[in-house]
């Protein structure tokens, strides 16, 4: 394992990216899909509004993007901090 | 060829495929039986995870749930997919790095306590057994409707097939059959949806069709649907729901999904930590193919059913009972669709007789109550018949429903049997058992679990539907928080974790029992199951996040007051946080 300060920095970077991803995760589902739907109702989508689209499709598409982005990002910083699997 | 022979042929061919795979992928070691020797490609594992996760509930029930109330049940779509983000970011990579075989094993090692491990085993068994009952009854419904056998005969056939590949192949056999089952179920689900989407909107992609223009009416499909359902007294399909309930219920499903042991152990089968991250993404891609199709299936089926009952528009008289289509006759036999001619006019009136504002219209039209009850569960299975699709599509739906139920059942059975053979027998009761002996115990435990699941499927306790709420509630309140704390905190110790799990487990059970009856026995509930009685308005099905919160609070509180974990445990936490060295980890 790398020395202590480098592994602390690696973990801090991981926590930071997890926090960013989970904020987006919450905004698209609980935000756009449920709580903010009344605000989004001015934007029409196919016979209904944007909030409905986020609740039934949009949030799922964003979830997929988030997981792939996280996997790509982490696999990159694993190498940067020298903690990847050789 | 008649429909029955066609169904038999298609279902028979899919079963032959599963058994062929089982013989090809026999397990020779415990590493193969528990974790497919950690040699599963991440995309393959994603596909297997999708089949493992998508149960009879996803395949058979979900579109019907959405069709019933529309927007409000989007909670299932977001809840059952959003959990994968939690799984991918917070649990899967670290548990793969830990590199052992079962979820209780991580809890036992991280919290250096056989007691914590035992509590985890109990939670795991309650979650998995309640979940498996639903799969067996789902398989029973599909059998009895499409193969015209007794439900009991169908169940024994289904468990014989699961027996062959799960007992022979363990995780290895289950993984490759799940890949095949995914292919069968996704084809079965999407083909009818594509046909119906073209019929209604001209768009061959159902998720796009949902937001397209209804060809016949010339207005957007959802607008047309809103109009016909409100004309019959129902709430608008895209109408608003309670914000608090939707939020809590979605959260409950998300946390519960991330805490389900049979899903978590799938990520133990990939070669590397990096693969565990990718694999969660692929799993969600394969799940999304069905989950993006489901809301289209729901909305279009609702429209098709209303169209069948009111062929000349909802303003005109309903169809005569004697003129009803064949699919109604077929499903009447199963009792899942019922007609009662309340006003004796020989026609099928279908409307919302509970809506006070609609009573006047109903009286004017000479209606004396809704005459048709349709069980939500038949919607996907009857969909090809409702849309008058060719016979082979109907056979395909039968094979798909069975694939969904059996693949999930097998994953659950593996979680149960490995908890018994590895956590209880190998690491507790008979520590010096040989590898061969452990493999034999694992197979016997699997056979026993299949037998119990079949018996429970044959005599489903009347509470089968409610117990699913219990499975998700417990996964959210007990398993998920303790795993997360084990990874993200070095400070939480054995006392905190064990007490936290117990509090999550007990409080969640008590809350459910208060409204749904002690051990779900009807009539023993202490408070009536109505919103006025709920604590802060929280329905029992959405209690998971509250249980999780209590678990976290108790664990952190007690840990702060007691000694910090020993050095070697803190080192263990350090080591699971970095991927390096994952290849070297083994069962022991």
Residue B125 phi, psi dihedral angles, 5° rounding: -70, -40
Q: Considering only alpha carbons, which residue of chain B is nearest residue A18?
A: B89
Is residue B159 a contact partner of residue B263, using CB atoms and an 8 Å limit? Answer: no
Average pLDDT of span A55-84: 96
Partnered with residue B374 across adjacent β-strands are B337
pLDDT given at position A3: 58
d(CA A44, CA B11): 43
Rounded to the nearest angstrom, the gap between the alpha carbon of residue B543 and the centroid of all alpha carbons in its chain is 18
Do B318 and B249 lie in a common domain?
no
Whether residue B547 lies inside any domain: the answer is no
Residue B365 lies in a domain: yes
Task: Give Dmax (Cα) for chain B.
Answer: 80
Suggest the residue from B78, B290, B572 to mutate for an interface test with chain A (most A CBs closer than 10 A): B78
Q: What is the pLDDT of residues B473-516, one digit of tens each?
A: 889 999 999 999 999 999 999 999 999 999 999 999 899 888 87
pLDDT for B467: 67
State the smallest CA–CA distance between residue A24 and chain B in angstroms: 11
Same domain? B312 vs B298: no
Tens-place pLDDT, residues B442-476: 999 999 999 988 888 787 665 555 667 678 888 99
Element (H, E) at B562: none
CB-based contact (8 Å) between A35 and chain B? yes
Task: Give the pLDDT of residue B97.
Answer: 94
pLDDT at site B524: 80
What pLDDT score was predicted for residue B586?
47
Q: Which residues face A44 on adjacent strands?
A: A49
**If contacts are CB pairs under 8 Å, which of residues 537-566 in chain B contact chain A?**
none
Among residues B375, B399, B431, the one where a domain terminates is B375
Regarding whether B234 and B168 lie in a shared domain, the answer is: yes
Shortest CA distance to B328 belongs to which of A38, B481, B320, B536? B320
d(CA B131, CA B453): 10
Q: How far is CA B280 from CA A84, B275, B289, B323, in A?
A: 18, 9, 15, 50
CB contact under 8 A, A66 and B85: yes
Q: Give me the mean pLDDT over the B27-54 stretch.
A: 93
Q: Is the pLDDT of residue A1 over 50?
A: no
Q: What is the pLDDT of residue A81?
A: 93
pLDDT at B160 (0 to 100): 87
What's the mean pLDDT in B215-228?
94
Q: Is B337 helix (H, G, I), strand (E, B) or coil?
A: strand
Contact B26, B169 (CB under 8 A): yes
List, as ranges, residues 179-218 from B with C-beta within 8 Å of A: 207, 210-212
Per DSSP, the three-state class of B220 is strand
CB B30 within 8 A of CB B40: no
Q: Residues of B with CB below 8 A from A61's CB?
A: 288
Task: Report if residue B105 sits inside a domain.
Answer: yes
DSSP, collapsed to helix, strand or coil, labels residue B347 as: strand
Whole-number percent of chain A with pLDDT over 70: 97
Sign of dihedral through CA atoms B322, B326, B330, B335? negative
Contact status of A23 with chain B (Cβ, < 8 Å):
no
Residue B135: its pLDDT value, please? 82
Tell me if A7 and B221 make a contact (CB, 8 A cut-off): no
Yes or no, beta carbons of A66 and B273 under 8 Å apart: no
Query: Sorting pLDDT into bands at 50, 70 and 90, what band is B118?
Result: very high
Tens digits of per-residue pLDDT, B538-551? 888 889 999 999 99
pLDDT in tens, B349-389: 999 998 888 888 898 898 999 999 988 878 888 888 888 88
Residue B412 domain flag = yes
The verdict on B268 and B127 lying in the same domain is yes
In a domain, B511, yes or no: no
pLDDT band at B534 (very low <50, low <70, confident <90, very high): confident
Provide the number of CB pairs (under 8 Å) joining chain A to chain B.
Answer: 144
In this predicted structure, what is the pLDDT of residue B453?
A: 86
Domain stops at, among B461, B481, B496: B461
Domain that holds residue B322: 305-375
Is B150 in the same domain as B245?
A: yes
Of B272, B580, B583, the CB nearest to A1: B580
What's chain B's length in residues?
588
Distance from C-alpha of B564 to C-alpha of B309, rounded to nearest angstrom: 67
- In a domain, residue B471? The reply is no
* Total number of domains constituting chain B: 2
Q: How far is A50 from chain B (nearest CA, A)?
A: 11
Query: Among residues B190, B204, B203, B71, which one has the least CA distance to residue A57?
Result: B71
> Is residue A47 within 8 angstroms of chain B, CB to CB?
yes
Summarised one tens digit per residue, pLDDT across range A24-57 is: 999 999 999 999 999 998 899 988 999 999 999 9
Q: Mark whether B290 and B324 lie in a shared domain.
A: no
Position B309 in a domain = yes
Q: Identify whether residues B101 and B188 lie together within a single domain.
A: yes
In the structure encoding, which two tokens stand for residue A62, read together? 């964003």
pLDDT per residue over B549-585, tens digit each? 999 999 999 999 999 999 999 999 999 999 998 764 4
Q: List pLDDT tens digits, range B48-90.
A: 999 999 988 888 888 998 998 999 999 999 999 999 999 999 9
Compute the nearest-CA separation of A9 from chain B (Å): 12
Both tokens of residue A23? 């904020």
For B45, the token pair is 């594992």
Tokens standing for B474? 């417990």
> Sorting pLDDT into bands at 50, 70 and 90, what band is B330?
confident
CB pair distance less than 8 Å for B277 and A56: no
CA B227 – CA B95 distance, rounded (Å): 50
Contact A59 B78 (CB under 8 A): yes
Whether residue B363 sits in one domain with residue B286: no
Query: Is there a contact between B211 and A46 if contact means CB atoms under 8 Å apart?
Result: yes
Say how many Å lie between the first and final Cα of chain B, rounded.
Answer: 56
Cβ under 8 Å to A: B residues 123-162: none
CB B466 within 8 A of CB B520: yes
Q: Measured between alpha carbons, how far is residue B344 from residues B94, B188, B353, B368, B497 in Å? A: 65, 39, 17, 9, 63
B28 and B108, same domain (yes or no): yes
Helices (H) and strands (E) counted in chain A, each on its own, are 4, 2
Please name the helix (run of DSSP H) or strand (run of DSSP E) that holds residue B374, with its range, or none.
strand B372-374
Q: Share the mean pLDDT of chain B.
A: 90
Rounded distance, CA B439 to CA B26, Å?
Answer: 12
Domain boundary (B317, B340, B375) is at B375
Q: Do A84 and B583 touch (CB under 8 A)?
A: no
Alpha-carbon B271 to chain mean position: 27
What CATH number corresponds to the domain at position B128? 1.20.1730.10
Query: Is the Cβ pair A18, B272 closer than 8 Å?
Result: no
Q: Does B578 reside within a domain?
A: no
Q: What per-residue string of b and e applies to A15-50 under the rule 16 or more CB within 10 Å gives b? A: eeebeebbebbebbbbbbbbbbbeebeeeebbbbbb
The pLDDT > 70 percentage for chain B reads 97
ipTM, 2 decimals? 0.96
Please report residues of B whose CB lies closer than 8 A to that of A62: none
Strands B337-339 vs B372-374: parallel, antiparallel or unpaired: antiparallel
Co-location of B106 and B79 in the same domain: yes
pLDDT tens-digit profile of B170-182?
999 999 999 999 9
B573 touches chain A (CB under 8 A): no
- Closest-CA distance, A13 to chain B, in angstroms, reads 12
On whether both B325 and B444 belong to a single domain, the answer is no
pLDDT score, position B466: 60
Could you please report the per-residue DSSP string of A23-59? HHHHIIIIIIIIITHHHHTTSEETTEEHHHHIIIIIH
Residues B365 and B430 in one domain: no
């Amino acid at each position: 394992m790398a020395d202590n300060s480098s592994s602390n920095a690696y973990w801090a970077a991981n926590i930071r990216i997890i926090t960013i991803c989970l904020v987006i995760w919450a905004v698209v589902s609980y935000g756009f899909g449920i709580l903010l739907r009344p605000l989004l109702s001015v934007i029409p989508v196919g016979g209904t509004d944007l909030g409905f689209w986020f609740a039934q499709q949009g949030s799922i598409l964003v979830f997929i993007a988030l997981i792939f982005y996280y996997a790509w990002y982490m696999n990159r910083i694993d190498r940067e901090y020298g903690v990847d699997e050789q | 060829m008649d429909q029955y022979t066609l169904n038999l042929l298609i279902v028979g061919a899919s079963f032959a495929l599963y058994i062929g795979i089982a013989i090809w992928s026999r397990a020779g070691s415990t590493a193969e039986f528990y974790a497919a020797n950690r040699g599963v490609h991440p995309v393959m594992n994603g596909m297997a995870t999708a089949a493992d996760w998508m149960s009879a509930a996803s395949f058979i029930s979900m579109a019907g749930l959405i069709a019933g109330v529309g927007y409000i049940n989007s909670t299932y779509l977001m809840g059952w997919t959003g959990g994968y983000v939690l799984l991918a970011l917070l649990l899967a990579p670290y548990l793969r790095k830990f590199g052992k075989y079962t979820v209780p094993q991580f809890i036992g090692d991280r919290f250096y306590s056989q007691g914590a491990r035992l509590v985890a085993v109990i939670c795991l068994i309650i979650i998995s057994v309640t979940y498996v009952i639903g799969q067996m009854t789902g398989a029973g419904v599909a059998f009895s409707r499409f193969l015209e056998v007794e439900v009991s005969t169908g169940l024994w056939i289904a468990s014989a097939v699961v027996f062959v590949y799960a007992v022979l192949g363990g995780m290895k056999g289950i993984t490759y059959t799940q890949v095949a089952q995914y292919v069968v179920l996704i084809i079965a689900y999407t083909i009818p949806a594509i046909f119906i989407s073209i019929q209604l909107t001209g768009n061959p992609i159902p998720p796009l069709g949902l937001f397209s223009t209804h060809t016949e009416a010339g207005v957007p499909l959802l607008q047309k649907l809103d109009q016909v359902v409100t004309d019959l007294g129902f709430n608008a399909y895209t109408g608003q729901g309670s914000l608090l309930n939707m939020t809590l219920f979605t959260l409950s499903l998300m946390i519960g999904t991330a805490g389900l042991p049979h899903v978590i152990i799938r990520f133990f089968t990939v070669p590397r930590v990096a693969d565990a991250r990718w694999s969660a993404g692929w799993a969600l891609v394969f799940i999304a193919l069905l989950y993006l199709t489901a809301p289209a299936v729901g909305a279009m089926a609702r429209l098709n059913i209303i169209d069948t009952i009111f062929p000349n528009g909802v303003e005109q008289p309903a169809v005569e009972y004697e003129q009803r289509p064949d699919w109604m006759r077929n499903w009447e036999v199963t009792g899942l669709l019922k007609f009662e001619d309340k006003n004796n006019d020989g026609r099928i009136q279908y409307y919302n007789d509970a809506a006070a504002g609609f009573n006047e219209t109903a009286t004017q039209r000479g209606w004396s109550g809704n005459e048709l009850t349709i069980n939500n569960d038949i919607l996907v299975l009857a969909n090809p018949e409702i849309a008058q699709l060719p016979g082979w599509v109907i056979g395909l739906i039968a094979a798909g429903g069975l694939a969904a139920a059996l693949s999930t059942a097998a994953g659950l059975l593996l979680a149960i049997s490995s908890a018994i053979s590895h956590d209880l027998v190998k690491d507790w009761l008979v520590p010096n058992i040989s590898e061969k002996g452990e493999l034999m115990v694992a197979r016997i435990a699997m056979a026993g679990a299949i037998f119990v699941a079949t018996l429970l499927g044959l005599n489903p306790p009347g509470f089968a539907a409610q117990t699913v709420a219990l499975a998700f509630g417990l996964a959210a309140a007990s398993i998920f928080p303790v795993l997360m704390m084990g990874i993200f905190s070095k400070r939480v110790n054995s006392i905190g974790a064990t007490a936290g799990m117990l509090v999550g487990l007990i409080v969640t059970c008590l809350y459910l029992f208060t409204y749904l009856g002690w051990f779900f026995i009807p009539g023993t509930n202490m408070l009536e199951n109505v919103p006025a009685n709920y604590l802060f308005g929280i329905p029992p099905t959405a209690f998971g996040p509250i249980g999780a919160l209590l678990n976290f609070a108790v664990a952190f509180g007690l840990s702060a007051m007691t000694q910090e974990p020993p050095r070697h445990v803190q080192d263990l936490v350090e080591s699971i946080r970095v991927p390096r060295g994952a290849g070297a980890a083994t069962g022991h």
